[in-house]
A and B are shown apart, each in its own frame.
Chain A
Amino acid sequence: MQTPRIKWHIVVFLAPAVLVYTAVMIFPLFNTLRLALYTEIDQVRSFVGLENFQTLFGDPRWSESFWNALGNNFWFFIIHMLVQNPIGIMLAAILSHPRLRFAGFYRTAIFVPTILSFVIVGFTWKLILSPIWGIAPDLLSSIGLKSLYAPWLGKEQYALTTLALISVWQFVGIPMMLIYAALLSIPEEILEAGEVDGITGLSAFWKIKLPLILPSIGIISILTFVGNFNAFDLIYAAQGALAGPDFSTDILGTFLYRTFFGFQLQLGDPHMGSAIASAMFAIILIGVCIYLFGIQTRLKRYQF
């Protein structure tokens, strides 16, 4: 019996990507997971097993912060799912309409905020909404709705929703582009066949196009989920590391940052920080698994 020859060229061609990916992704990931099992006592690192997780979930103060951040994170995600993705799909449907003029211009204009830096977006919106210099109060008062204005970013009950909507404004271009591409790939024949059967206009969208773009919507949902649970930048740029007011905009990313790197007089604790990072990793992993095994396998796929 002859053993199969090792195909060396495969190893050689894979090596650069595997090595780089291992060095910058896989190794840090597992090292973070490992770090979560240690703590530092009198400047000596010692192994403590799952004690950090016990503190994180068992200590009432730590767990309160954690559940608060997780709850806020879910709200942040829900707003994106309910606002960003439907609007993205709607925009894509309008853009793909063959008789729309200036479609290219709209497409670009809506997509541009996506490539802006978080710092710019955070700062600009803070200025727009500012009670002192902002144009939001003036705009509202010019249409007689001044009473609707509130210092949204400074109020516990509105701040997180406001930030989520700012994030929606910034990223609505991504679902729009993905859905737009999916819509364009639907063959004309199918739509024409539908027309022959009397399905036109809106009902063509609901009955033909939407089922065909469902896999894309699934992908967008999972991208939104991963993106939101890793979010940090916008909150940090707009509200700072303390995620004010009174931690009402604290999400897992800012909670991790404060714990890991420390803040003001609070010294950083890399070990507790790693424990939080591991929890985030687990949450995202579970979310992705639910999608992959629970939803994606049941989606019907159509081959054209």
Chain B
Amino acid sequence: MSSRSLTIALLATTLLAGPALAEDVTLTIESWRNDDLVLWQDKIIPAFEASHPGIKIVFSPSAPAEYNAILNSKLDAGSAGDLITCRPFDASLALYDTGHLADISDLENMANFSDVAKSAWQTDDGSATFCVPMASVIHGFIYNKEAFEEVGVEVPETEAEFFAVLDKFKEDGSYIPLAMGTNDQWEAATMGYNNIGPNYWKGEKGRLALIKGEQKLTDEQWVAPYATLARWADYMGDGFEAQTYPDSQNIFTLGRAAIYPAGSWEITGFNAQADFEMGAFKPPVLNEGDECFISDHTDIAIGMNANGPNTEAAKIFLNWVGSEEFAAIYANALPGFFSLSSHDVAMDDPLAQEFVSWRGECNPTIRSTYQILSRGTPNLENETWGASAAAIKGTKTPEELGKELQEGLASWYEPQQ
């Protein structure tokens, strides 16, 4: 009798609580992007709440360097928010494997994302996707339009033209042809090797073959980019060996250099700093008419706390993140962080437009070292930093570098053994 009345009481409260919850569900977003707080509060959240009455959103970011640690402890304690901003690849995969992130592959708007876009937030076999991709960054070259006019050169399409342009600037002498240094090492790998590389290893084809073990880092297509990088050294500024990343940015925005090997995340900063007109061109292809490949690197996504209290509402929000409305708001507020969805998003920033226009012409891929291959020791991504810097400085030959990287990868990665 008493247990029955308890059941009824429980049912009654559930029935009563149901509508009460539906009226006022609050979802909390965990994120490391505290730079974006204003954007979320002023643009994204009001847009969502206007079309979805009954769901309230709170954006609660923590400091980027502490995000992973804070999030992990919150998840373990069961106090994490309903929505979780996802780092690409292994950090998020670990959360999925431990049951903290829910499988959301069957979300309706997931169909708006390509396989490449989703690859950063999938299990290795691609069977489950656990975050909705938000944005990517595209690699290419930003150039000083005024300098190009002054010296009288055109935007290069092929590698031969690219080096011809650099030669012209070197002859002219009033600009440093290429603003890059090797002191911090990562630019050499990120804006050098992984910028021009996809044209050599044919984007996804090469990247996936490397993961499967069908290609090796000693193969021509993986070694040749190092040989090209070695030729860059002649066009970089005096003492580039000790030139840091901020040095390169400043040299370019002060108008002292002609070409800056870039990632699209620079756009906002460069717009604020440079007082000359800038343009962008994609990594030059080897021969005229070749198919082109660009690095369209997946950077940020959002997923759902599997043990959160409001999973239904969270799913509605995640589905909205996959919509065109979200893509348009996000891409315009943060030029340089491009929507990963297949929606055709109109952007106002001309430089961002140029970057994103390449998606229509070229095949996108992601940085070759990020998926799976940097799980072990030695870490392929970090090794690639050193290798790219060494290639530019000419301290090692491209063949030696390929051999070293291959040996390192094969030491722990079975498909390459």
Contacts and interface: CB of A to CB of B under 8 A. Distances in A.
Interface stretch (B15-23, B177-185, B217-225): B177-185
Interface in A217-265: 240, 242, 244-247, 263-265
A174 to B, nearest CB: 28
Interface residues of A, number: 30
B243 A131 contact: yes
Contact of A132 (B237, B389, B390, B411): B237
Interface in B180-204: 181-186
B349 interface: no
B241 interface: yes
Nearest to A156: B395
Contact of A246 (B240, B247, B389): B389
Interface in B356-381: 369-370, 374, 377-379, 381
Interface in B232-255: 237-244, 247, 251
B241 A155 contact: yes
B273 to A, nearest CB: 16
B139 interface: no
B374 A133 contact: no
A245 B379 contact: no
B402 to A, nearest CB: 16
A266 B390 contact: no
Given A61-B411, A265-B369, A132 B382 contact: no
Interface in A25-70: 43, 61-62
Contacts of B182: 154, 245
A153 B242 contact: yes
A126 interface: yes
B114 to A, nearest CB: 23
Given A131-B239, A151-B242, A266-B374, 9 more contacts: A61-B408, A130-B243, A151-B240, A153-B183, A154-B240, A154-B243, A244-B185, A244-B389, A265-B369
Contact of A130 (B184, B242, B369, B374): B242
A81 interface: no
A131 B242 contact: yes
A265 B185 CA distance: 14
9 contacts: A126-B244, A130-B239, A130-B244, A155-B241, A244-B183, A245-B182, A266-B377, A266-B379, A266-B381
Nearest to B244: A126
Nearest to A263: B382
Contacts of B242: 129-131, 151-155
Interface in A66-103: none
Interface centre among B183, B185, B247, by most chain A C-beta atoms within 10 angstroms, is B183
Instruction: Specify the main secondary structure of chain A where it touches its partner.
Output: loop
Interface of B: 89-90, 98, 181-186, 237-244, 247, 251, 369-370, 374, 377-379, 381-382, 385-386, 389-390, 393, 395, 408, 411
Nearest to B248: A132
Interface centre among B370, B386, B408, by most chain A C-beta atoms within 10 angstroms, is B386
A286 interface: no
Contacts of A266: 374, 377, 379, 381-382
Nearest to B241: A154
A240 to B, nearest CB: 7
A267 interface: yes
A151 B239 contact: yes
A302 to B, nearest CB: 49
For the complex of A and B, 7 pairs with smallest distance between CB atoms: A131-B239, A154-B241, A154-B242, A151-B242, A151-B239, A265-B374, A266-B379
A154 B239 contact: yes
Contacts of A126: 244
A126 B239 CA distance: 13
Nearest to B407: A61
A130 B247 contact: yes
Contact of A133 (B184, B241, B247, B378): B247
A214 to B, nearest CB: 41
Nearest to B91: A267
Contacts of A130: 239, 242-244, 247
Given A61-B408, A154-B183, A245-B185, A265 B90 contact: yes
B237 A131 contact: yes
A66 B246 CA distance: 31
Contacts of B237: 131-132
Nearest to B176: A132
A61 B412 CA distance: 11
Nearest to A262: B379
Contact of A242 (B238, B378, B386): B386
Contacts of A129: 242
Interface centre among B89, B240, B377, B408, by most chain A C-beta atoms within 10 angstroms, is B377
Contacts of A263: 382
A149 B386 CA distance: 24
Nearest to B184: A240
B393 to A, nearest CB: 7
A245 B239 contact: no
Contacts of B247: 130, 132-133
A233 to B, nearest CB: 18
B283 to A, nearest CB: 22
A132 B183 contact: no
A149 B238 CA distance: 11
A239 to B, nearest CB: 8
B322 to A, nearest CB: 27
Interface in A123-161: 126, 129-133, 137, 149-156
A269 B238 CA distance: 39
Contacts of B239: 130-132, 137, 149-151, 154
A244 B383 CA distance: 12
A267 B72 CA distance: 14
Contacts of B389: 244-246
A242 to B, nearest CB: 6
